[in-house]
Amino acid sequence: MSTVASTPAGTISRTPSDEVAAGLPVRTDLWVDGGFRPAVSGRRFDRVAPRDGRVVAAVAEGDVADVDLAVAAARRAFEDGRWCDLHPRERRATLLRLADLVERDADDLARLESLDVGKPVSHAKAVDIRVTLQTLRFYAEAADKSYDAVAPTGPAVHATITREPLGVVGAVVPWNFPLMMAVWKIAPALAVGNSMVVKPAEQSPLTLLRFAELAAEAGLPDGVLNVVPGFGPTAGAALGRHMDVDALTFTGSGQVGRLFLNYAAESNIKEVSLELGGKSPQLVLADAPDTAAVAKAVAVGVFFNQGEVCSAGSRLVVHRSRKDELVEAVVAASQRLRLGDPLDPKTFVGALVEAEHLERVLGHIGAAHEDGARLLTGGGQVLAETGGYYVEPTVFDDVAAGSRLAQQEVFGPVLAVQTFDDLDEGIALANGTDYGLGASVWTKDLSSAHRVSRRLRAGTVWVNCYDESDITVPFGGYGQSGFGGHDKGLAAMDKYTHTKTTWMAL
Ligand code: NAD
C-alpha cells in the first residue's frame, strides 16, 4: 500500500520497501556465445535499487578476459556467416520475432528497468519498452528493403557501390534508457549483418541480459549478440582497446567519449561514433504561445526521467517581457509533478540512479548557490528515509551565462533560468555552451521560427514543442554532443556498414 504526503515540492508518494527483489525475471551472468556464464574471475557486483537503496541482484563482473571471449564468439559468428550471410528476409524475420517476445514480456521488462535505474515504471513501459519495440520493427523491416547502387561510369566498365557489415561491433551504453538506447544501436547493426558485444552501464545491466536471452529464443544464432556487464575502466576499456573489434558505438559522457577516441588511436583505429551530453536551451520569444502550455512543456522537458536525459531542456532562456508569468507557471507545473516510488504507476519523477549521482546532483545545486543563482523551488534531497535517491524538481533563476549551472550538464532535475532582452542576445545565450544536442524555440511567428531554428546550433531543434521523437528521425549532436553518425533513422544503418566499390572491366 502506498501512502501520500504533501511537501513543498508537491505530491510525494511512499511505498514501503518490500520484497521486490524476490523473483526477478532475469539471470545475472554474462551472456556470451548464446548462453549464460560466470565471469572468468568469478567476481560479481551488487545492483542496488535506487528506489530504496537495497541490493536486488549480484551481477557477474566482466573484465578483459570476458571481453576477449565475447569478441572471439562474435568474430566466429561473423566469419562463418551464420548471420551476415542469411537472406536479409531471414534477419528481418528473426528481429520481428524478437520484437514480439519483447512485447510479450513488456511488463516484466518495464518493471526490471524501473527497479534497476529508478525511472517511473509507467514511463519505462510507455517510452523505453514501446520505443524498443518500434526500433526493432523499424530496422527489421529495413533489413530486406535496402538496395545498393551502380555508378554511372560509362559503357567500358561496370562499378557497383555496395554496403557491407563492418564485422564485430562493440557498443558501450549508458544507464538512463538502458535497453532502448542499446537497441538503437543493436537493431540497425544486426539488421545489416554485424555481430556485437554490448557492455551495459554497471548501473543498468538487467534488461539487456534478459533481452539477449529473448534474442536467442527468437532464433538469433549463438555469438551474434553478446552482453558483458562490467565496469567502464575495465570491461569498457577492454572493448574500446580490442584489436578485433571493428567499430565502437558509444553513448555517454563527453569525458568517457574522449577516452574511446584514445582507445581507438592506441589500438586498431576502429571506427568510433559518439553520442554525448547536452545543456539544451528552451528559447521562449516575446510572442511565444499560451504560457500555461509552454510552462508545462518546459517542466516536462527538463524533469522527465528525473532530468537524466541527454537532451533535457535544462535551460529556460526567456524574453524579459514573458519571464515573470512563465517562470511562475513553470514553478507551479514543477510542483504538480508527482515524485515518489518509481514502482508506483502514478509517479512522474522517480529516483536518481545511484548514491554517487545523488551527491553529484546535490553538488551542482550547491555550486548554483555559490555562483549567485536564486532558488525558486526544490533544491534538495527528499524521502531520504526510504533509503532511495530522490531530488525534488529544482528551478534556479538569475543564472549567469558563464556560471557552472549554465555550462555544466547536471543530468538531474535542475532547471536554469536565463533572461534576454533582444533576439540576438537570446540566441547567443542559447548557443553559449560547448554542447549542441537539442534546442527549442517558442514563437507564434512562422518567420521567426524558421530564422531562429536555423541559427540554433543543435542537432535537433523543436519548434513549439519539446522532445518530439520518432524512430524514423535521426538523433545526434553538434559540438561536444558527439559525432560519427546519428542514432535512429534509416541512415543509422550506414554507420554499421562499410562502403565497397567493385570495378568490372566489360
Ligand atoms: P558515462 O560516460 O559515465 O558511462 C557510459 C558508459 O561508459 C557506461 O557503460 C560506462 O561503464 C562506460 N565507461 C565509463 N568509464 C569508462 C572508461 N574509462 N572506459 C570505457 N568505458 C567507460 O555516462 P553515464 O553516466 O552512463 O551517462 C550519462 C551521460 O551520457 C550524460 O553525459 C548524458 O548526456 C550522456 N547521454 C547521451 C545520450 C545521447 O544520445 N547523446 C543519451 C544518453 C546519455
Q: Is the pLDDT of residue 3 over 50?
A: no
Whether the CB-CB separation of 351 and 391 falls below 8 Å is answered with no
Evaluate whether 192 touches 496 at the Cβ level (below 8 Å).
Answer: yes
CA distances from 432 to 312, 461, 479 (A): 16, 15, 11
* 394 three-class SS: strand
299-353: per-residue pLDDT in tens? 999 999 999 999 999 999 999 999 999 999 999 999 999 999 999 999 999 999 9
Grid coordinates representing 489?
533513422
Closest approach atom of ligand 1 to CA 481: 41
Cα(376) to centroid of ligand 1, in Å? 30
Express each pLDDT in 35-44 by its tens digit.
999 999 999 9
> How far, in Å, CA of 158 to CA of 486, rounded?
32
For this structure, is 465 an active site residue? no
Neighbours of 118 (CB within 10 A): 31
Residue 84 appears among annotated catalytic residues = no
Residues near 54 by beta carbon (within 8 Å), at least 6 away in sequence:
17, 21, 48, 387
Residues in the chain, how many? 506
Comparing CA positions, the residue from 208, 196, 19 lying closest to residue 113 is: 208
* CA gap 42, 65 in Å, rounded: 11
The angle formed by the CA atoms of residues 253, 258 and 264, to the nearest 5 degrees, is 125
- Give per-residue pLDDT as tens, 84-143: 999 999 999 999 999 999 999 999 999 999 999 999 999 999 999 999 999 999 999 999
Helix residue ranges per DSSP H, 268-378: 291-303, 320-336, 355-370
Residues 317, 117: Cα–Cα separation, whole Å: 30
Nearest CA to ligand 1 atom 18: 233
State residue 21's pLDDT score: 44
pLDDT tens column, 428-459: 999 999 999 999 999 999 999 999 999 999 99
Residue labelled with grid coordinates 525475471: 25
pLDDT at 234: 98
Distance from residue 201's CA to the centre of ligand 1 (Å)? 7
How many Cβ atoms from other residues are within 10 Å of residue 89's Cβ? 10
Summarize pLDDT for 5-25 with one digit per residue, the tens.
Answer: 333 334 444 333 333 444 677
Choose one of 256, 311, 359, 471 to mutate for the ligand 1 pocket test, by most ligand atoms within 8 angstroms of C-beta: 256
Residue 11, pLDDT score: 46
Rg (CA), the chain: 23
Q: CB within 6 Å of ligand 1 — which residues? A: 172-176, 181, 199, 201-202, 231-233, 236-237, 240, 251-253, 256, 259, 275-278, 310, 409, 411, 437, 477, 481-482
What is the pLDDT of the chain when averaged over all its residues? 95
The per-residue pLDDT for 398 is 98
306: left (phi over 0), alpha (psi -120 to 50) or beta: left
In this prediction, residue 23 carries a pLDDT of 66
C-alpha–C-alpha distance, residues 359 and 356, integer Å: 5
- Phi/psi class of residue 489: alpha, beta or left (left: φ > 0; alpha: ψ in -120 to 50)? left
Residue of 213, 310, 354, 392 marked active site: 310
What is the structure's pLDDT at 98? 98
Share of the chain above pLDDT 90, in %: 94
Angstrom CA distances, 464 to 295, 315, 316, 504, stand at 11, 16, 14, 53
C-alpha cell of 311? 537532451
Of these residues, 61, 275, 392, 409, which one is catalytic?
275
Residue type, 144: D
Q: Residue 25: what pLDDT?
A: 78
pLDDT of 365: 98
Integer Cα distance of 292 and 270 in angstroms = 49
247-263 pLDDT, tens digit per residue, is 999 999 999 999 999 99
pLDDT of residue 22: 46
- Angstrom CA distances, 240 to 167, 269, 273, 359, 496, stand at 15, 10, 12, 28, 16
What are the structural domains, with CATH classification, of the chain?
Answer: 17-276+481-505 (3.40.605.10), 281-470 (3.40.309.10)
pLDDT band (50, 70, 90) for residue 405: very high
Q: What is the structure's pLDDT at 26?
A: 87
* b (16+ CB within 10 A) / e for 479-489: bbbbbbbbbbb
CA dist., res. 248 & res. 264, Å (int): 9
**Burial category of 466 from C-beta neighbours within 10 Å (exposed 0-12, middle 13-18, buried 19 and up):** buried
Q: How far is the CA of 500 from the centre of ligand 1 (A)?
A: 32
Phi, psi for 49 (deg, rounded to 5): -75, 125
Angle value at C-alpha 249, between 243 and 254, nearest 5 degrees:
105
